[in-house]
Amino acid sequence: PMGSERTEMRKRQMSMTQETPGAAQAQHSTGNRGPNTCCFCWCCCCSCSCLTVRNQDEERARRTSHELQAEGIPNCEESPAPTLEEVNAWAQSFDKLMLTPAGRNAFREFLRTEFSEENMLFWMACEELKQESNKSVIEEKARLIYEDYISILSPKEVSLDSRVREVINRNMLEPSQHTFDDAQLQIYTLMHRDSYPRFMNSAIYKDLLQSLSEKSIEA
């Protein structure tokens, strides 16, 4: 009896190793449909919940792209290609980087790789709000900005301290072009101190600078 059990076990193991790549791939793609196994399990099941963190990062990247398309937000601002002088100026100060659409586009591309593009999107939405004069349009845009970037239920929530949140909540009683001024400044400062130094050392900036330098030499 013990020998027959071992034989059956070998048969099952052989049948598992002889699965076609397509079948294995299908099993992997549908593995999450079933209950996840415990992270402390000894098996190598692909649906193990220890993959949750990585899956959430991948899903956030896909969701961000999908939401931008669904909301009609362009992938980038329209702007001429930056010159070598402009790209060099970006290294002089964060203000010069944010001053031009080309600079914001390059920086936004970098933020997307760090899953923090919502900071730039929020800053741009606040700039757009400041240009409005119609009261009903201001109220509607302010509501959308709040839902998209301030609400704790939003996947694009930006990081703000409690003081600024209290100011926003008071301002939302009567929304104006300047409802989010304090929050916009805080996010601008966050991008300046946290993301801007990494952008200057990123491949995105260095590759662009090198490409423009080579073109300048060839010309």
Region 149-160: mean pLDDT is 97
Region 67-72: mean pLDDT is 38
d(CA 25, CA 7): 27
Q: What's the pLDDT band for 169 if we cut at 50, 70, 90?
A: very high
149-175 b/e (C-beta count within 10 Å ≥ 16 → b) = bbeeeeebebebeeebeebbeebbeeb
Q: Above pLDDT 70, what percent of the chain?
A: 65
d(CA 13, CA 4): 14
Whole-number average pLDDT of the chain: 78
Q: Is the pTM of this model over 0.95?
A: no
Q: What is the pLDDT of residue 190?
A: 98
Q: Which of 52-66, 89-103, 197-211 has the lowest average pLDDT?
A: 52-66
Region 66-71: mean pLDDT is 38
**Higher-confidence residue: 130 or 49?**
130
Q: What is the pLDDT of residue 63?
A: 44
Helix runs in 135-192, H state only: 135-145, 162-171, 181-190
CB atoms within 10 A of CB 19: 12
Q: What is the pLDDT of residue 105?
A: 96
Q: Indicate if the pLDDT at residue 34 is higher than 60.
A: no
Domains of the chain: 84-216 (1.10.167.10)
Q: Which tens digit of pLDDT belongs to each residue from 199-213?
A: 999 999 999 999 999
**Higher-confidence residue: 207 or 28?**
207
Q: What is the pLDDT of residue 72?
A: 36
Q: Indicate if the pLDDT at residue 33 is higher than 50.
A: no
d(CA 42, CA 27): 19
Q: Which of 75-79, 118-122, 171-175, 183-187 has the lowest average pLDDT?
A: 75-79
